[in-house]
């Protein structure tokens, strides 16, 4: 039985107040042993182009099961592209007790390539409980 995974990561793009937020919003069984983890990326302060995140899927012991690059051409700068989803599809995402480890995070801000990895702060996401009103 696949258990949903939820967590969020706050990535602060620099001390100059560019903020990038990544949130793992969903994991679903897609088909034939493949699962899809969806991540919502949000840039609150300014435009980040050529955004690239290398995300490892790790087992409970910290061993890397898979590594993928997630990319966006542009994020932020206007309400239209302030938040966007990226996906990681893999058999390994179906595994129990996995974690996601970001090993590379970079993008272009104001024409300069910025290493975003140095300012990563992790914040766990706690989903709201679901209640059923039974008569």
Q: Which domains does the chain have, with CATH numbers?
A: 7-123 (2.60.40)
* Residue 13 host element (H or E): none
Is the pLDDT at 10 greater than 50? The verdict is no
For residues 105 and 86, the answer to whether their CB atoms sit within 8 Å is no
Neighbour count for residue 44 (Cβ, 10 Å): 13
Q: What is the pTM of this model?
A: 0.77
> pLDDT tens for residues 65-124?
999 999 999 988 888 888 889 999 999 999 889 999 999 999 998 999 999 887 655 666
Q: Are strands 112-115 and 64-75 parallel, antiparallel or unpaired?
A: unpaired
Higher pLDDT, residue 54 or 31: 54
Q: Identify whether the C-beta of residue 75 lies closer than 8 Å to the C-beta of residue 65.
A: no
Question: How many C-alpha atoms does 29 have within 13 Å on its Cβ side?
Answer: 9
Structure tokens given for 87: 């996906």
């Amino acid at each position: 039985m696949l258990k949903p995974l939820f967590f969020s990561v706050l990535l602060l793009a620099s001390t100059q107040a560019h903020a990038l937020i990544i949130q793992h919003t969903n994991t679903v069984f897609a088909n034939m042993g493949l699962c899809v983890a969806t991540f919502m990326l949000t840039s609150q302060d300014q435009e980040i182009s050529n955004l690239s995140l290398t995300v490892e899927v790790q087992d409970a012991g910290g061993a890397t099961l898979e590594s993928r690059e997630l990319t966006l051409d542009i994020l932020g700068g206007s309400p239209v592209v302030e938040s966007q989803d990226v996906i990681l599809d893999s058999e390994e995402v179906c595994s129990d007790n996995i974690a996601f480890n970001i090993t590379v995070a970079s993008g272009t801000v104001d024409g300069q390539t910025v290493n975003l990895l140095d300012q990563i702060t992790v914040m766990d996401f706690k989903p709201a409980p679901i209640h059923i009103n039974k008569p």
